[in-house]
Amino acid sequence: MTDRPNILVIMVDQMRADWLGVAGHPVVKTPNIDALAAQGTRFTDFNVATPVCQPNRASILTGRYPSVHGLRHNGLSLPYSQSTFVEALRASGYATALIGKSHLQRMTGHPQKKGSQPVTGPISEAVKDANRYDVESPENLTADEIVVPRPYYGFDHVDFTSDHGDRPNGHYLQWLKTSRPDDWQALRDRENQLPHNYSCPQAYRTPLPVELYPSSYIGMRGCEFLDAQDASTPFFALVSFPDPHHPFNPPGRYWDMYDPDDFEVELPFEAHETPNPVLKALREKFVDGSQFTAGQENFMATERHLKEAMALTAGMIALIDDQVGKLIDRLKANGQWDNTVVVFNADHGDFLGTFSMLLKGPYIHNSTYRVPFIWRDPERDGGTTDDRLASSIDIAPALLERAGVAPYHGIQGRSLWSGERREELLMEFEDNAYPKPYFTDRPANSRTLLTPDHRMTVYEGEDWGELYERVTDPDETRNFWGDPDHTVLRTTLIHKLVDELIGATETSPFPPFRA
């Protein structure tokens, strides 16, 4: 057995930090994830670098902010010029694998809306980049032969399950076609959904049986990778589930595992004492019926629809929890458990009822920026919690330090392994298109400063902002931005935010000469 630890990172998509049994959720049951926390450390204030899929996944791999690594918002790609901690592990002798959702490049073929493209001259972009970023495009991942240049951001073994719900493509689609050659198309046909009585937007009862559902496939492939490893070589595996991201379509028994009536909408829109213009604009579209509910952007819903979405999300989480149990059992059966670090994390959260909203969007709230993070390590005692302010960019330096690998210059995170403590944390948000509620003529762009006691968000081009007391108002329902009694505090936090922004600028490459 190698003296360096194996590392298994289990990633889920769009899951709130408080939707775990071990986090105190009154309804959702996650026995396998809870057991992982009982043997590890659960971070109670772990936050994203940005509450959006693509850029935060890139921040996890690079240990850098979106504004620095270049994948600033969905629809872009992580430049191949950016180093990842996976590359550093591979260079030090680790076997590396990506199984499931990657989302480091675009995974749709939808162009930007007309009118959103900039007007340019003979040179179209300030940054010249002729590299190919269509590896995760549907054109490639639905082809008979999937082309993946390896190593892919440091991964030698790549097994893609790209997109969400019951119709991802990639290697999963190839496997499904082989497994069910006669009816795979019918199983993915929206006209063939099973009968149900749910009416919430994006509720869909898939005819795919549990064993053919993407999360089951990813769990199976993850176990197969663990089985194939040589004990003399350490491995790093990212097993990445597209769930519990919408659409709301848990398969088989997971569909009616939870009853909508068992859930409560604890923070309806009316709970916010001082809603900002973004929240008000969303409410207006909900009231007049003009909001769009079939896409990726957040929207408001009725109490019944929110409860239905909660129940179906809980079913998807239950399926993931079962897969986590299978992965842990396989580590133990293979004799790998005693030398494997296991991390459980999500790329961002979901409103899931907060102020009557679903999904995610330009409105910032801890339901979308605080995510679950569990670190189980054979070198440390389990059953503990860690209240440190931590960020997605801190994962890369922590795993490198744990593996005994020095970080590369320009990494911006702080190692969780060595116990560094932050007094402040920066979060970025940059939207990729418009129009949106309130932001009708430009993409939303904001920066957030988080401290143990406060959350402050400043929006580009606006004279209003947000300032919340995290200790006395953990639900962020009263905005003190314009309160005269908070003027000194607001000024102090703005200075801290400026300091964080200065410290978050690019420092790579290091200048080899003085002049």
Query: For the chain, which residues make up each domain, given as ranges?
Result: 6-109+133-420
Which amino acid, one-letter code, is at 442?
R
pLDDT at 118: 81
CA angle 292, 294, 296 (to 5 degrees): 90
Measure the CA–CA gap between 325 and 330, rounded to whole angstroms: 9
Q: Is the pLDDT of residue 268 over 70?
A: yes
Average predicted confidence (pLDDT) for the chain: 96
Q: Which of 104-113, 165-174, 313-322, 327-336 has the lowest mean pLDDT?
A: 104-113
For helices 303-333 and 31-38, give the axis angle rounded to 10 degrees: 60
Calculate the dihedral angle through the C-alpha atoms of 244, 10, 238, 447, rounding to the nearest 10 degrees. 70
Q: What is the pLDDT of residues 63-93, one digit of tens each?
A: 999 999 999 999 899 999 999 999 999 999 9
pLDDT digits (tens, 9 = 90+) for 130-150: 888 999 999 999 999 999 999
* 1 has a pLDDT exceeding 60: no
CA-angle at 255, arms to 475 and 315, nearest 5°: 35
Reported as a single tens digit per residue, the pLDDT across 437-461 is: 899 888 899 999 999 999 999 999 9
Cis peptide bond upstream of 247, omega within 30: yes
Q: Which CATH architecture has domain 6-109+133-420?
A: 3-Layer(aba) Sandwich (3.40)
